[in-house]
Chains A and B, each alone.
Chain A
Amino acid sequence: DAGITQSPRHKVTETGTPVTLRCHQTENHRYMYWYRQDPGHGLRLIHYSYGVKDTDKGEVSDGYSVSRSKTEDFLLTLESATSSQTSVYFCAISQPLTSGGGETQYFGPGTRLLVL
């Protein structure tokens, strides 16, 4: 296991409420990611972080914000949840490959979010 936990694992909330999901790692990896997974879309990157206080947008960042005040924690916030944000959210950390460049990503167990 890559030492990644996500909390909460399940969340039901109402439209318009703020929601924060937490990803915690024990591996001291620099890169962390938030994805959402939806039927027919596979995995889509929301935001990622390349260090403390260093974050950037992915392909589906609208309606989401992130923060990383410590290496081990990466928070995803839905400022005002909408039904279209009902999804399964995965956090990942990356470890550079020792040969050939690129990276290997390791995933957390996911958070199932239902917005009513």
Chain B
Amino acid sequence: GNSVTQMEGPVTLSEEAFLTINCTYTATGYPSLFWYVQYPGEGLQLLLKATKADDKGSNKGFEATYRKETTSFHLEKGSVQVSDSAVYFCALSPPQTQGGSEKLVFGKGTKLTVNP
């Protein structure tokens, strides 16, 4: 079946440090891939997405590249800020060719804390 595995953390960094949060997936065919972010006390917000191999999603200084050969979609940011402190979720959406529902499959989330 489809599944997502991401580093569980927590991850603690100093401001301006480089961030990587690893995400790998198992899926049949070519799923779409997502990163969601959840700030304290809020719902999940879509951060970025990629719909095919070698696509790079980017938003707010975050990037992730869809790597079919390594089944990965690692999240990166060159210089984190205190305001980036949140929980980050990797997710996949099965391709429509698989039929059935359109359910997303989520990783368990990685908590990031950025200290000044």
- What is A's interface to B at a CB cutoff of 8 Å? 31, 33, 40-43, 45, 48, 50, 56, 58, 90, 92, 94, 96-97, 99-110
Contacts and interface: CB of A to CB of B under 8 A. Distances in A.
Contacts of A45: 103
Given A42-B108, A104-B93, 16 more contacts: A41-B108, A42-B106, A45-B103, A56-B101, A94-B104, A96-B102, A97-B93, A99-B52, A101-B30, A101-B94, A101-B95, A101-B97, A102-B92, A104-B32, A104-B46, A107-B44
A100 B45 contact: no
From A90, A99, A102, name the one whose CB has the most chain B CB atoms within 10 angstroms.
Answer: A102
B43 A107 contact: yes
Q: How large is the interface on B (under 10, 10 to 19, 20 to 34, 35 or more residues)?
A: 20 to 34
Contacts of A105: 46, 104
Q: Classify the interface of chain A: helix, strand, loop or mixed.
A: strand
Contact of A102 (B31, B43, B44): B31
A97 B101 contact: no
Contact of A107 (B45, B93, B96, B108): B45
26 contacts: A31-B102, A41-B108, A42-B89, A42-B109, A56-B101, A58-B103, A90-B43, A90-B44, A97-B93, A100-B30, A100-B32, A100-B95, A101-B32, A101-B95, A102-B51, A102-B95, A102-B102, A103-B32, A103-B93, A104-B32, A104-B34, A104-B93, A107-B36, A107-B43, A108-B43, A109-B42
